[in-house]
A and B are shown apart, each in its own frame.
Chain A
Amino acid sequence: MTRARAREFRTGTVALYAALVVFGALSLLPLLWMLSASFMAQGEATTFPPALLPRNPTLVHYRDLFGRLALGRYAMNSALVATVTTIGALAINASAGYAFAKLRFRGRDATFRAMAAGLAIPVQVAMLPLFLLIKSLGLVNNYGGVIIPGLSSIFGIFLVRQYALAIPDDLLDAARIDGASEFRVFRSIVLPTIQPVLATLALWTFLATWNDFMWPLIVLSDDAKYTLPVALAGLVGEHAQDVELMMAGAVITVLPVLILFLMLQRYYVEGVTEGSVK
């Protein structure tokens, strides 16, 4: 390498890392400030110049949220809704995705194409009649009304199908010749084989349900039943001035999903790349 080339390489690397630091700081700053402000004393975040770090870190807002404002209950609601949706979605979408990939039945491809076309329809179009349906089933202000419409997802079926296409037919046929029922084949051969995509599907469903806002906002009317995002949006109406308190609430809402993502990153990323290729 000539000296000029080496210098060009070095300045390039410096520029690269500088860009990385700027980009990274912009990504993290809002989240770091949220965390920092949540430990500030009341009023400390509304000073000029803005405080970046708490002078005397305090947990008073967390205590307030879990005590007086019962945020723990909303966290439990969110956890319940997201967990039940995830378990149901796994069972329902895994079996459908597998069948669309590997089982032959009349009308399969036409059904699948119709479903793919359905992906283009925005969910908001269905929302108004869906609300009336939920209401006539007596599921307004009921977790069932939040959970049931989210159980089956076209995206989830796509994801599993894509993965299941790679299962060798011989493997399945061998089990069938040994006398295994289709259900048995699914349970003892297919499910273990597609485990990675199930992890992806579970993670996506859990995070999407935990983060969802519009549908729970519509279905849940009783304060005590709110999920975290709905409760938080309500809280900011009454406590808009209590910046530090609101930041603690935001931390409680965001932290579980961030931790989950950091632990299971690999599966999440696979979902994005698989889903985009289709």
Chain B
Amino acid sequence: MTAPSARAPRTPWIAPGWWFVAPALTLIVVFFVGPVLAAIVLSFTDFDLYALADPRAAHWVGLRNYSRVLQEPLFWQALRNTLYFALVGGPLTVAASLGAALLVNARALRWKGTARAIFFAPFVTTLVAVAIVWRYLYHPRYGLLNWMLGHVGVQPIDWLGDPRWAMPAIILMATWKNFGYNMLIFIAGLQNIPRELHEAAALDGATPFQRFRHVTIPMLAPTMFFVVIVTMIGYLQLFTEPYVMTQGGPLRATTSLVLYMYEEGFRWWRLGVAAAIAFLLFLVIVLFTLLQRRISPRGAA
């Protein structure tokens, strides 16, 4: 370090701030921004296994990858599956989060910390490991779930083997795994509701349910919309659950866009096609993000 002059602020050639952010920015530019831009180029080429050995084998093909993908029935099925997962799974997860948050936040409840830790535990677990656990819970003959449902008279369901049930099964598992995260956000939100509001409503003779309906829900609504959209955006990137639990089946009923992209890119090494799929996914995510910007209140986001 150079000798500092005590009073006057030094005016070095490069502001010290840049030195502090340089490592992070360099990494972000090289390993994220650069690749994103390169992905645009990649999606306009026929980059494949041969190009992997020698990049000169790749040619510019314009929009061919996009038009080919858009004519592929599997793409549309993957898009439908992904939207199914996000549009059903997102709100379901958030509803479970809200329920858990209300429970943990209830004034009469003791052991709040323990309850919160229990609800949050599934979120920190390793997705691959618990997806395998759920594979066995869903076993049509020996699985715990069908056995429990059998007690209330439900006939055994072939959860992961029936194309109609496979996606609901993955949604259920994802809800279990993820609700704890938003629960924490809701607990913080609930604690921000001024107690006087509840007390005033109680004085006016409101029942607990009415207070929930007319005080809690309106106060929490901004957070709720925000959380639903953020959860759905995360869910649009579905990959590990179908990879481990169903390999995208049965009959492609659980093939998500990212799984489709993975197969095209890293199994068949059609990187150009895969990049086009990645951008189409990005487009969907952008639509959801715009929606979020639209409805999110001033404070959030």
Contact = CB atoms under 8 A, between A and B. Distances in A.
A154 B25 CA distance: 9
B79 interface: no
A31 B108 CA distance: 28
Contacts of A268: 124
Interface residues of A toward B: which range? Answer: 35 or more
A151 B27 contact: yes
Interface residues of B toward A: which range? Answer: 35 or more
Contacts of B220: none
Given A120-B285, A213-B127, A33 B119 contact: no
A23 B4 contact: no
A24 B243 CA distance: 28
A213 B35 contact: no
B24 A125 contact: no
B18 A261 contact: no
B130 A250 contact: yes
B52 to A, nearest CB: 8
Contact of B122 (A27, A106, A125, A148): A27
Looking at chain A's contact residues, is the secondary structure mostly helix, strand, loop, or mixed?
helix
Contact of A233 (B17, B34, B128): B128
B239 A214 contact: yes
Contact of B38 (A27, A129, A151): A129
B17 A124 contact: no
A257 B4 contact: no
Looking at chain B's contact residues, is the secondary structure mostly helix, strand, loop, or mixed?
helix
Given A23-B119, A179-B4, A257-B125, A105 B18 contact: yes
A233 B18 CA distance: 42
A58 interface: no
Contact of A148 (B27, B139, B261, B286): B27
B125 A247 contact: no
Interface string B232-276: 000011011001100000000000001001100110000100110
A124 B278 contact: yes
Given A99-B17, A273-B188, A232 B132 contact: yes
Contacts of A48: 141-142, 147
Given A30-B137, A183-B1, 20 more contacts: A23-B99, A27-B121, A30-B176, A31-B122, A46-B139, A115-B28, A124-B281, A128-B42, A129-B36, A133-B31, A148-B31, A149-B31, A182-B16, A211-B125, A218-B266, A254-B130, A258-B125, A265-B117, A265-B120, A268-B124
6 contacts: A20-B109, A23-B100, A96-B23, A125-B282, A182-B16, A214-B258
